[in-house]
Amino acid sequence: MKRLHRMSVPMIALTALAAVPAVGADLPVKAPPAPVYAPAPFTWTGFYIGGNVGGGWAQGNVTDTLTGGSFDTGTVGSFIGGGQLGFNYQVGNVVWGVEGFFDGVASNNNSGNILTGATGDQFQAATNARWIATAAGRVGITGPGFDHWLFYAKGGGGWVGYNASVSDLTTGVSASTSNSLGGWMAGGGVEWAFAQNWTARIDYQFIGLNSFSVGSFPADRFLVNNPNVQTVTFGISYLFH
């Protein structure tokens, strides 16, 4: 009996050890944590089209080339509205692009002071802009932490439909011209992507134009010197990613 008892101890130990894996297999296994995916950074790459409204200011002094006298036509402020379209291509934190811009101008003629000509006749001049168009290259900066914002500068060409007239108040004769003036443009702005495909922006442009002749009278010739137009607009665009 004692011998049998001594032999049963190892048997009991082996039986307990054999049962350990079985017990471990019944324990619950903790699932690995779910992977965390960071949202993809916003990209400005794509075509866009939209509309804008704002203000435009046209300036150009009409000068009598014979006497050197100048009409104080001042700066004409007007409501403007139209649209823009373009394309962006983002490389890292830099956004390159091209853009076309067109706005109509709601303005009235701006009359200057009365000027005495070479023969003593009294003259008055008026100027106004009818429409504005630009074609530009753009370059902007965005980046991590503010990838929904774009700070940009732009430059290129500008064209303005410009009216000017001079009236001889003494004789009742008048001369007028309607030109499509060309020149250079520089500007910039800030744009905010408030949704995946929608952006809002504030944009500024300065357009420097070429001088042009208004008309000639028997003793006086009138010239619009270095006219320019400035615009500030608020725009909304749809961006096709």
Taking the C-alpha atoms of residue 207 and residue 168, their distance in angstroms, rounded to an integer, is: 30
Tell me the mean pLDDT in the region 86-91.
Answer: 98
Q: Is the pLDDT of residue 104 over 50?
A: yes
Please give the Cα distance from 151 to 189 (Å, whole number): 6
- The Cα 113–Cα 132 span in angstroms is 26
Instruction: Answer whether 209's CB lies under 8 Å from 158's CB.
Output: yes
8 Å CB contact between 55 and 212: no
| Residue 92, pLDDT above cutoff 90 | yes
* DSSP code string of 3-40: HHHHHHHHHHHHHHHHHHHHHHHTSPPPPPPPPP-PPP
Contact 159, 152 (CB under 8 A): no
Please report which confidence band the pLDDT of residue 110 belongs to, taking 50, 70 and 90 as the band edges.
low
Please check the confidence at residue 73 and state whether its pLDDT lies above 60. yes
Residue whose C-alpha is closest to residue 223's, from 70, 77, 113, 109: 70
pTM over 0.75: yes
| Whole-angstrom Cα Rg for the chain | 37
Domains of the chain and CATH, by start? 46-240 (2.40.160.20)
Q: For residues 12 and 240, give the distance between their C-alpha atoms in angstroms, rounded to a whole number.
A: 76
Q: What is the pLDDT of residues 156-210, one digit of tens each?
A: 999 999 888 898 899 989 888 888 999 999 999 999 999 999 999 999 999 999 9
- Residue 108: which pLDDT band, with cuts at 50, 70 and 90? low
Q: Could you report how far apart the first and last alpha carbons of the chain are, in Å?
A: 89
So what's the pLDDT on residue 23? 47
Mean pLDDT, range 72-97, rounded to an integer: 91
% residues pLDDT > 90 (the chain): 46
